[in-house]
Amino acid sequence: MSRIRFSKLWPARFGFFVSTIVLATVLSAAEPPALNPFGPADSEGPPQRDDAVPGCLELSDGSVHPGLIYLTRDMRLKIYDDRLQRRREAPLQAVQRIECKIKKEWMEKEWKFKETTSDEKIYTGRSYPAREYLHTITLRDGRTITGPLAAIVYVQPAPQQEAERFLLNKRNKGEPGKSLKSLIYVKRITLGEDALQEGRKKQSTSGRNAAKPQAARKGAEPTIPNP
């Protein structure tokens, strides 16, 4: 009797064990291998962005920053077209050049409240630099758009290196006691492989790439709010 029962149950049990082994094999193949937190890294530094464009960024102090240039993920350049009186958007891949010119600059007097509970303000005797900018975007087809532009631009000098962040401002200001010359801004961005190679040549000959232009970098100086 026991032999008959065993012979009847054996195919079902055998099939169950085989299915379990096959399922475990499939799951183990689908899962990525476990990572050793103490093992060597596959690569050092950040990965290269797939939407980056080769080019060169130049600051008003003459320093050049060639590398792979990109915006915040899924962002476009948003500029108010002074000619058409409306906002326009342009992907970085469609841009050939971005140029910045000073629209207006002045020394603003610094004021503070006379008392914490009073609305009266008094002049501190100090002033700070303030400036307005106009940007011109030249597209690859030759069309241009001119107007105020605000954006964060990233420049990665080389693969696996940390990218630097630069601000394109509509308006900005400096610290009290500083001069207008202290307001360093992004003067020009040229995109393309030729621009990248030319920027590297300028960088190697000028030796000014080692400077730390804080005024043009994100978070270095607050942007003046629109009135």
Dump pLDDT digits (tens) for 54-92. 999 999 999 999 999 999 999 999 999 989 999 999 999
Q: Is residue 116 part of a domain?
A: yes
Q: Among candidates 130, 97, 160, which has minimal Cα distance to 223?
A: 130
Total tally of structural domains belonging to the chain = 1
Q: Is residue 75 part of a domain?
A: yes
Q: Which residues contact 84 (CB under 8 A, 6 or more apart)?
A: none
pLDDT at 140: 95
**13-22, 50-59, 87-96, 125-134 — which is least confidently predicted?**
13-22
Q: Which residues contact 114 (CB under 8 A, 6 or more apart)?
A: 120, 121, 122
Over pLDDT 70: what percentage of the chain?
70
Residue predicted with more confidence, 26 or 25? 25
The answer to whether 127 and 110 are in contact (CB under 8 A) is: yes
pLDDT at 159: 83
Q: Is residue 227 part of a domain?
A: no
Q: Is residue 102 part of a domain?
A: yes
Q: Is residue 12 part of a domain?
A: no
The answer to whether 93 and 142 are in contact (CB under 8 A) is: no
**39-53, 62-76, 130-144, 207-221 — which is least confidently predicted?**
207-221
Long-range pairs of 162-165 with CB within 8 A, sequence gap ≥ 24: 162/45, 162/46, 163/46, 163/67, 163/68, 163/70, 164/65, 164/217, 165/217, 165/218
Q: Which two tokens stand for residue 118?
A: 């009073």
Query: Given a cut of 60, is residue 1 above it in pLDDT?
Result: no
Q: Is residue 86 part of a domain?
A: yes
Query: Given a cut of 90, is residue 113 above it in pLDDT?
Result: no
Confidence at 13, pLDDT banded by 50, 70, 90: low
Q: Which two tokens stand for residue 86?
A: 């409306």
Segment 168-184 mean pLDDT: 94
Domain that holds residue 187: 53-216
Residue predicted with more confidence, 208 or 151? 151
Q: Among candidates 160, 194, 167, 176, which has minimal Cα distance to 66?
A: 194
Q: Is residue 98 part of a domain?
A: yes
Q: Is residue 169 part of a domain?
A: yes
The answer to whether 154 and 205 are in contact (CB under 8 A) is: no
What are the CA-CA distances from residue 116 to residues 110, 112, 120, 121, 122 (Å)?
Answer: 16, 10, 10, 10, 12
